């Protein structure tokens, strides 16, 4: 019998971590193989479903960092540890992890855009022998919207990590003040030679200007990768909501090289 590609299966919630008032991380039991940068469809019967990026995964679990912004997420925030949630996936092409091996990696991410790149950052942190220097520029709107505080502190301790944490318009101890794009110029691209890649994820406006900042600093377009995870909808290319010209973001992405991604303007 053929598997139904849109049939969700029930999974138990193992834990819930309240990151902020509006964003919680749900740890859900999972045995489905995952690649960094992919997403799943989370649903509740008679309520609806929503595509959610995977913010972390390990043996027997997957993490979903969810912002309370609509009907489905409002209901998700009523759930408790031990309750069940329905999942289908994984979907999408993730970050080019193999292409990063042996290279320096620059990551520019903003707000909830840190979620779809968090598991990859963890791999870079845990496996310094596989990668070069890692430069993180991570930004949030204000101190009340900071996600993954324990991981942010942990990443600062790695010898091969160079981190800039910034808030848009707030002075806060240990943090810079300003947009993530303001700090791209401080990355020593000249020291990398050709042996590096850049990853960008966040709100569309932030991604556009972050890519521009990288290009202004002589980063070749083919060394920039972007995630269009905010465009996800049905995940299998049937509803058409993620279609931009002839590209179905859910099938061909959500991660694209900038040489392709720069054309995905809708």
Domain count within the chain:
2
Q: Tell me: do 210 and 144 sit in the same domain.
A: yes
Cβ-contact 107, 117 below 8 angstroms:
yes
In a domain, 2, yes or no: no
Is 250 annotated for ligand binding?
yes
Is 234 annotated for ligand binding?
yes
Is 90 annotated for ligand binding?
no
Is 198 annotated for ligand binding?
no
What is residue 85's predicted lDDT score, i.e. its pLDDT? 96
Average pLDDT over residues 43-69: 94
Structural domain of 234: 97-262
Q: Tell me: do 119 and 206 sit in the same domain.
A: yes
CATH code, domain carrying 49 = 2.40.30.10
198-207 pLDDT tens trace: 999 999 899 9
Q: Tell me: do 106 and 155 sit in the same domain.
A: yes
Look up the pTM and report it: 0.93
- Nearest in space to 227 (alpha carbons), one of 92, 26, 68: 92
What is residue 1's predicted lDDT score, i.e. its pLDDT? 43
209-228 pLDDT tens trace: 999 999 999 999 999 999 98
Q: Tell me: do 252 and 171 sit in the same domain.
A: yes
CATH code, domain carrying 114 = 3.40.50.80
- Nearest in space to 208 (alpha carbons), one of 188, 181, 229, 231: 181
For the chain, give the mean pLDDT: 93
pLDDT at residue 126 above 60?
yes
99-117 pLDDT tens trace: 999 999 999 999 999 999 9
Q: Tell me: do 122 and 248 sit in the same domain.
A: yes
> Could you say which of 50, 65, 91 is where a domain stops?
91
Cβ-contact 122, 56 below 8 angstroms:
yes
Q: Tell me: do 58 and 105 sit in the same domain.
A: no
pLDDT at residue 264 above 90?
no
């Amino acid at each position: 019998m053929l598997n139904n590609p849109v049939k969700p299966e029930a999974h138990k919630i193992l834990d819930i971590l309240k990151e902020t008032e509006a964003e919680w991380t749900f740890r859900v039991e999972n045995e489905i193989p995952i690649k960094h940068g992919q997403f799943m469809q989370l649903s509740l019967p008679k309520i609806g479903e929503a595509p959610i990026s995977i913010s972390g995964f390990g043996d027997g679990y997957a993490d979903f960092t969810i912002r309370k912004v609509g009907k489905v997420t409002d209901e998700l925030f009523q759930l408790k540890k031990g309750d069940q949630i329905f999942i289908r996936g994984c979907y999408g092409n993730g970050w080019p992890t193999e292409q990063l091996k042996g290279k320096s990696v620059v990551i520019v991410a903003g707000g909830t855009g840190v979620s779809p790149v968090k598991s990859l950052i963890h791999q870079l942190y845990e496996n310094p022998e596989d990668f070069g220097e890692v430069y993180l520029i991570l930004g949030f709107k204000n101190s009340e919207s900071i996600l993954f505080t324990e991981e942010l502190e942990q990443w600062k301790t790695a010898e091969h990590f160079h981190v800039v944490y910034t808030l848009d318009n707030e002075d806060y101890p240990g943090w810079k003040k300003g947009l993530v794009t303001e700090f791209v110029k401080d990355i020593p691209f000249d020291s990398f030679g050709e042996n590096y890649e850049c990853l960008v994820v966040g709100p569309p406006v932030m991604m556009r200007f972050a890519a521009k900042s990288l290009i202004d600093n002589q980063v070749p377009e083919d060394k920039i990768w972007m995630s269009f995870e905010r465009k996800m909808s049905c995940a299998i290319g049937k509803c058409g909501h993620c279609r931009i010209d002839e590209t179905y973001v859910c099938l061909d992405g959500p991660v694209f090289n900038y040489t392709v991604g720069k054309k995905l303007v809708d």
